[in-house]
Structures are given as C-alpha cells and as structure tokens.
C-alpha cells in the first residue's frame, strides 16, 4: 500500500515542478482541472527527461535514484504547502449539483477504478509484454546502471519515457509500482476527459465521458498491468487538448505547449508520432482567417520543431546505438543493426513506403493501399464493440450506442473541432496504426468526451422529462462494469493486502519464478544467461540474452555446428543457459527450436552444458566452453 | 437548405431523439446481456456457482 503514497508523491511533485515551468512560460489556464493536468504533464515530462539523462550518463545507482526520489518527495511537500489550500478549494467546488444517477455513476466508476488499483498492487504476473519488455527493460537498465542497448530484446531502442518512471518506481518502491503508475495514468486520462469536456462542453458532459472511458474494457483490463499505453494516451490527450485550446485562442505560447506535449507523446512510443501527424494536419488545414499565411507556416514549423526537439534524444539514442532512429522499424531506409522481423502488424503499404527507396512505386502503392484499407477498416469501431479479436480490441458498447446522437445534439464550434480531430485520429488509427485500440486509447478518450456531450444533451427542452433515461441506463452499465472490475480484482486481493506473500503468489502464477529464484540465490552477480524458449525475463536479477527468432545476437542459422555455437556464446560472455523443457507449438511455429528434439541443440547440450537446476517446466545449465575461445 | 426541409427536420427532431435513445438503450442492454454480465452479477451475488 506504500505504493499509493509514492504515486501521490509522484503526482504532487510533478504538479509542483510543472506549475513552476508553466507559470514562468505563462501557460496558466483559467480552469482548475486544466491547470492541474497541464502542470502534471509538464512535471512528468521533466522527470522522464531527468531519468533519461541519468541513464545516458550511466549513473543509475541506488543512491542516485533514492536521491532523486527524496528530492521529488521534497518538491511534493513544498507543493502541498504552497498549492494545497488552492487545490482543496477547487476540489470542493468540483461536483456541481449532480443528480442522483450522476452521483451513483461517478461513485460506482470510482469503485471500479479502486478495484483496478487492487489488481495493480499485485506483483506483475500473467501478461507477456510487461514481463518481457516494458518492465524487463527498466530492470535491465537498473542492473547495468545505464541506459544500454539490449540488442536481443524487442523494442529495446523504442522511445521509453514512461518506462523511465517505471525504472524509478522499481528502484525506490516495489515491483508493483510501475503497474500502479500505469493505473495512475489511466486515472489522469479520465481527468483529462473531464477537463476537455469542461473546456468544450460542460463539466457534467466531461464527467460522463470519464465514466465511459473508465469502464472501457481495454482500459479496465490493461490499465492495471505494466504496459505503457495509458501513459501514451495521457500525453496525447493533453497535446490534442492544448491544440484545441490553441484553435480557440491562438497564441505562440499556447503553440509551444502543443509542441512540448506532442514531443512528450512521441517520447513514449513510436505510435506517439501520430500525434505530430494530427497536429501538423490541423495546423495546415486551419485557414488564415485570423492570421497571415506566413505566420501560419511559421507556427507549423514552430510546433514541429519543439516537438522534435523534446522527443529527439530518444530517436538519437536509437540512431547512435543501431544506426536507425526507429530501430528495428524502417530498416530499408535507415539500415542499421540487423533484425529479423520488422512487420509488427503494420499494414504492408506503410512498410513499403518506408522501406522501398523507389518512392514512385511506393507512393502509388501507399495511396491505393490506404484507400483500400480505409474502406475495409472503416467499421472497426463496430467490430471493436461487438466482436473484438482480443481484450486489446474490446472497447465496450458505449461509443457505438451514443455517438450517433451527435447528429441530433447541439454542436458548438468547439465540438465540431473535436469531432474533426477525433475523426482524423480514427482514420490514422485504422489506416496506419494497426487498428488496435490498446495502442490508441487517446481515440477512446476523445470519443468518450463526445459520448458525454451526447448523454448530457440528447433531449431538447421539449422532451425534458425524458432526459434521465439514457443517464440512468449508463449508471446501470457502470454498475455492471464495476462488478467486472471487482471480479477481476478478487483473486489478487490476498496478495495485494499482504495476506499471502508475494513469493508464494508468484510461485503459483509465474511458471518461471522458481527458476529465477534459484538463479537469483545461487548464481554469481556477473552471470550471463542465455534464455532458450523463455520470454519473460523480469524476475531474473542477472544479465541475460534472449534467443527469440527475430533477434540476431544468437542466430543459430549463422552458426553451422555446436562448436561454432559454443564459440559464439563464449564470445558473448554467456555463463549459463536457461531452457524451457517443452516449447509450446505456438512458439515453435514462430521459429523457436524444440531444443531437446533438435539434433544440433542436443549435440551442443551433451558437449557443453551441465544441468544444475530442473523443475517441471524449466532447466538451468552451466555452460562450459571446454577450451573453446570466443570469436569476438 | 430550403425552409420547408429545415422545418421538417425540426419537427422530426423529438422523434429522432427518442429513436436514438432507444438505439442506445438497445445497444447497451443487448451488449451486456450478450457478454453474460447477468451471469457475472448472479455469480457475485452467490446465486450461481
């Protein structure tokens, strides 16, 4: 539970730091929610930048990180003293004359969010990606004290600003802190929806939007796990909110804020680049009614250059390590360190555009491809609601139920702009960004604001008596959604509250945990382990290399026999091999060897490997090169 | 837009609003039933194993 205190400290410190910067640059929104959220976004961007800087310097030592945490805690206390009374006043003013069903909906959605927080407090388990990348990479950085290049881990050079916060959490709190931070980003997204609603419609519309977003299955399910998508969505919503505010009252200072937040979104994940796309399209389409064309282009260049300046350290890092700013994507253009698989579900025509140097053919293919994809993927929203392929695509029914109402409700110029930005992001999502709602929660947040606007305004004055019908139905569905959150949280309640030890819980939940317990207790600190068939390395406290089929660090096809393999592993400094005894068929189809049935790997095992640990699923070998010297 | 059409739309607006409300209620009701939320609630209340 101490993680909650850490999260509150993180956000208060971010508010304090961001408020200082925003006040100095005269970004001072009049509305309190906007003031708080823009300051938090700025403060978190600063902290992420600081952690990146420390990582590049190679000083990610416990003392340094505890020093950063202590300074941030001091900042949080200062914030509380300086701004606490002001914040308290505004919080007391927030709920403006809510009807009973609105109170019920907000309270029950809050209960659902708390149930999700219980899940976040459990040790990371189950989902693959966090234990293989999002949490595993920060832990590897902590083990090596530097922001190095883990060449065998997918996405090792992706921008990782959110992961920098996770790294600090892992260093000063517990394994659950990153999950709770991600949950906190989900709550911040809901707050941003309230703020955007307040800005463009009404506070009540924003509250309904937040309720709709809080219940969307993709956020409920993934928001409590160690992914980064809710964090990306938060910075994207803030950037687009700043853009909408700029459209209302254009000014250079406001445009700088758009640029900084767009850069912050681009620093979270390559998908954040889509935010820059939206910003540039909107800036280019906005006509010169209130400014000269020259100034207009200057503004476009200003926003783009600020965004690129904020995000560039991440892309520069990738370029310096791998010769490719977006490694391992777009290898056809940038070249760089070889990687066996660059698709990641991106549509073929996008891949062709970035990888085929003959641009004429590529552009032609891109245009026809994008039109074809737009046509086939246009109803994605419908399918995400009714027949999602997985939890990643499950958005729930509220958007499909409510958005048609936009045709009938009163729409201000601001709402029209929001519809435009949302439609543009939807097109980008389905045409370019894998049509995956988990990667694009910002889209759900924007749509949730519009849904909230519909809930508040569906019935005109003539049908005033019917107004509660839809909100009451939403309140009922909120209760059902919260029941699901409660149901998901129930199994982890004992471990989240300390009734069951974290170790016992993990022994039952994570099949690799006993193996890594052995590794962490018995292997020397400088051990270097080759994982064979094992994907989740988070609980391993020693350096490791992952032999998945796409990386090229250990590429069996390039090593003709067991002697060559032994020589190569010796050159990499491998001391042990941890192997999954029976690799599941799904991974074999991906290209993993079935090691114990493979003559090549059997020859290698018999000659160079000595078992030192075995359980039902895994075996650990000591690697003895027997006189073979490394070739590197 | 012609004056007559505008007034027609204005006269139809209440009916359309009711239709959209029914659409929303139908979608929400069917979705939660289809996804088995009634079973979940029964389970949580101890009415079903």
According to the model, what pLDDT value does residue A217 have? Answer: 95
According to the model, what pLDDT value does residue B17 have? Answer: 87
CB-based contact B27 A408, cutoff 8 Å: no
A629 or A285: whose pLDDT is higher? A285
Residues with Cβ within 8 Å of A540's Cβ and at least 6 positions away in sequence, in order, are A516, A519, A520, A529, A578
Check: CB of residue A133 under 8 Å from CB of residue A153: yes
Name the band, by pLDDT with cuts 50, 70 and 90, for residue A471: confident
The model carries a pTM of: 0.93
Q: How far apart are CA A131 and CA A179, in angstroms?
A: 11
Give A209-239 pLDDT, tens digit per residue. 999 999 999 999 999 999 999 999 999 999 9
Give A404-425 pLDDT, tens digit per residue. 999 988 889 999 999 999 999 9
Distance in Å, alpha carbon of B25 to nearest chain A alpha carbon: 7
What part of B 1-49 touches A (C-beta under 8 Å)? Answer: 13-14, 16-18, 20-21, 23-25, 27-29, 31-32, 37, 40-41, 43-44
Cβ-in-10-Å burial (0-12, 13-18, 19+) of B33 comes to exposed
Contacts of A477 in chain B (CB under 8 A): 28, 32
What part of A 430-469 touches B (C-beta under 8 Å)? Answer: 458-460, 462-463, 466, 469
What part of A 356-385 touches B (C-beta under 8 Å)? Answer: 385
Instruction: For residue A296, give Cα distances in angstroms to A416, A534, A550, A556.
Output: 21, 53, 45, 55
pLDDT higher than threshold 60 for residue A344: no
Q: Does A485 touch chain B (CB under 8 A)?
A: no
pLDDT higher than threshold 90 for residue A366: no
According to the model, what pLDDT value does residue A295 have? Answer: 57
The mean per-residue pLDDT over the stretch A516-533 comes to 96
Instruction: For residue A608, give Cα distances in angstroms to A66, A143, A599, A626.
Output: 42, 27, 14, 7
According to the model, what pLDDT value does residue A551 have? Answer: 84
pLDDT higher than threshold 60 for residue A13: yes
Q: What share of chain A is helix, strand, coil (3-state, %, to 5)?
A: 70, 5, 25
Q: What is the mean pLDDT of chain A?
A: 90
Give A300-313 pLDDT, tens digit per residue. 899 999 999 999 99
Check: CB of residue A448 under 8 Å from CB of residue A402: no
Check: CB of residue A313 under 8 Å from CB of residue A266: no
pLDDT higher than threshold 90 for residue A470: no
According to the model, what pLDDT value does residue A541 have? Answer: 96
Residue A580: φ, ψ to 5°: -80, 130
According to the model, what pLDDT value does residue A432 have? Answer: 82
According to the model, what pLDDT value does residue A583 have? Answer: 95
CB-based contact A487 B28, cutoff 8 Å: no
Q: Does A64 touch chain B (CB under 8 A)?
A: no
According to the model, what pLDDT value does residue A86 have? Answer: 80
According to the model, what pLDDT value does residue B14 have? Answer: 85
pLDDT higher than threshold 90 for residue A459: no
Extract the tokens encoding A295: 């100034």
ipTM of predicted complex: 0.89
CB-based contact B21 A397, cutoff 8 Å: no
According to the model, what pLDDT value does residue A347 have? Answer: 62
A312 or A356: whose pLDDT is higher? A312
Q: How far apart are CA A547 and CA A138, in angstroms?
A: 19
Name the band, by pLDDT with cuts 50, 70 and 90, for residue A117: very high
Residue A507: φ, ψ to 5°: -60, -35
According to the model, what pLDDT value does residue A593 have? Answer: 94
According to the model, what pLDDT value does residue A118 have? Answer: 96
Contacts of A385 in chain B (CB under 8 A): 31
Cβ-in-10-Å burial (0-12, 13-18, 19+) of A313 comes to middle
pLDDT higher than threshold 80 for residue A594: yes
CB-based contact A401 B27, cutoff 8 Å: yes
A88 or A116: whose pLDDT is higher? A116
CB-based contact B24 A402, cutoff 8 Å: yes
According to the model, what pLDDT value does residue A292 have? Answer: 54
The mean per-residue pLDDT over the stretch A467-492 comes to 92
Give the max Cα distance, chain B. 62
Tell me which residue in B16, B21, B27 faces A397 most closely, judged by beta carbons: B27
Check: CB of residue A26 under 8 Å from CB of residue A252: no
Q: Which residues of A243-253 are buried (b: 16+ CB within 10 A; e: fewer)?
A: bbbbbeeeeee
Q: Is the dihedral of CA A343, A348, A354, A357 positive or negative?
A: positive
According to the model, what pLDDT value does residue A288 have? Answer: 45
pLDDT higher than threshold 90 for residue A102: no
Distance in Å, alpha carbon of B30 to nearest chain A alpha carbon: 9
Instruction: For residue A492, give Cα distances in angstroms to A489, A499, A517, A544.
Output: 6, 10, 21, 29
CB-based contact B13 A400, cutoff 8 Å: no
CB-based contact A405 B32, cutoff 8 Å: no
According to the model, what pLDDT value does residue A632 have? Answer: 42
pLDDT higher than threshold 80 for residue B6: no
C-beta atoms surrounding A607 within 10 Å? 15
According to the model, what pLDDT value does residue A285 have? Answer: 80
Chain A with chain B: Cβ pairs closer than 8 A = 67
Check: CB of residue A18 under 8 Å from CB of residue A35: no
Distance in Å, alpha carbon of B16 to nearest chain A alpha carbon: 8
Cis omega before residue A217 (within 30°)?
Answer: no
Check: CB of residue A355 under 8 Å from CB of residue A331: yes
């Amino acid at each position: 539970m101490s993680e909650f205190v850490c999260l509150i400290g993180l956000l208060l410190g971010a508010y304090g730091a961001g408020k200082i910067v925003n006040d100095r640059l005269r970004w001072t929104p009049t509305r309190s929610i906007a003031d708080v959220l823009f300051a938090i976004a700025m403060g978190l961007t600063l902290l992420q930048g600081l952690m990146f800087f420390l990582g590049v310097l190679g000083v990610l030592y416990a003392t340094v990180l505890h020093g950063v945490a202590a300074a941030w805690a001091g900042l949080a206390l200062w914030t509380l003293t300086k701004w606490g009374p002001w914040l308290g006043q505004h919080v007391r003013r927030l709920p403006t004359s809510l009807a009973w069903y609105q109170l019920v909906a907000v309270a029950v959605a809050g209960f659902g969010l708390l149930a999700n927080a219980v899940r976040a407090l459990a040790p990371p388990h189950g989902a693959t990606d966090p234990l293989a990348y999002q949490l595993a990479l920060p832990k590897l950085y902590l083990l090596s004290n530097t922001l190095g290049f883990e060449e065998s881990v997918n996405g090792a050079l992706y921008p990782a600003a959110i992961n920098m916060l996770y790294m600090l959490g892992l260093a000063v709190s517990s394994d659950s802190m990153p999950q709770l931070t991600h949950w906190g980003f989900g709550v911040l997204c809901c707050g941003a929806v309230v703020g955007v609603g307040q800005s463009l419609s009404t506070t009540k519309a924003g509250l309904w939007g937040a309720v709709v977003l809080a219940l969307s299955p993709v956020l409920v399910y993934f928001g409590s796990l160690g992914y980064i998508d809710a964090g990306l969505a938060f910075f994207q919503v803030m950037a687009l909110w700043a853009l909408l505010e700029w459209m209302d009252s254009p000014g250079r200072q406001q445009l700088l804020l758009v640029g900084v937040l767009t850069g912050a979104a681009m620093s979270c994940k390559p998908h954040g680049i889509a935010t820059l796309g939206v910003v540039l399209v909107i800036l280019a389409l906005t006509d010169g009614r209130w400014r000269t064309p020259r100034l207009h282009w200057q503004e476009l260049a200003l926003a783009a250059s600020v965004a690129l300046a904020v995000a560039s350290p991440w892309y520069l890092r990738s370029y310096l390590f791998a010769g490719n700013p977006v490694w391992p994507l777009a290898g056809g253009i940038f070249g760089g360190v070889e990687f066996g698989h660059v698709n990641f579900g991106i549509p073929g025509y996008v891949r062709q555009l970035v990888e085929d140097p003959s641009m004429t053919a590529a552009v032609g293919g891109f245009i026809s491809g994008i039109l074809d994809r737009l046509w086939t993927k246009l109803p994605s929203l419908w399918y995400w609601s009714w027949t999602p392929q997985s939890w990643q695509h499950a958005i729930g029914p509220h958007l499909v139920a409510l958005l048609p109402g936009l045709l009938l409700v009163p729409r201000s110029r601001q709402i029209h702009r929001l519809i435009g930005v949302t439609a543009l992001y939807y097109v980008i999502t389905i045409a370019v960004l894998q049509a995956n709602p988990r990667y694009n929660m910002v889209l759900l947040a924007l749509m949730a604001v519009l849904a909230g606007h519909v809930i508040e305004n569906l019935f005109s004055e003539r049908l005033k008596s019917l107004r509660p019908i839809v909100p009451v139905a939403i309140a009922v569905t909120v209760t059902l959604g919260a029941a699901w959150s409660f149901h998901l949280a129930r199994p982890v309640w004992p471990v989240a509250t300390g009734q069951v030890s974290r170790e016992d819980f993990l022994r039952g939940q994570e099949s690799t945990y006993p193996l890594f317990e052995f590794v962490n207790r018995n292997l020397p600190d400088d051990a270097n382990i080759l994982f064979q068939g094992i994907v989740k390395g988070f609980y391993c406290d020693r350096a490791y290399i992952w032999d998945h089929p796409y990386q090229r660090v250990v590429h069996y096809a390039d090593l003709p026999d067991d002697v060559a393999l032994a020589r190569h592993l010796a050159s990499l400094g491998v001391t042990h091999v941890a192997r999954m005894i029976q690799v599941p068929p799904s991974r074999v189809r991906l290209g993993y060897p079935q090691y114990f049935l493979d003559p090549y790997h059997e020859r290698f095992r018999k000659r160079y490997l000595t078992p030192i640990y075995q359980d039902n699923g895994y075996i650990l070998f000591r690697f003895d090169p027997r006189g073979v010297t490394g070739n590197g | 837009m012609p004056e007559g059409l505008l007034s027609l739309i204005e006269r139809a607006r209440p009916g359309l609003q009711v239709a959209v409300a029914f659409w929303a209620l139908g979608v929400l009701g069917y979705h939660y039933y289809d996804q088995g939320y009634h079973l979940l609630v029964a389970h949580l209340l101890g009415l079903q194993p």
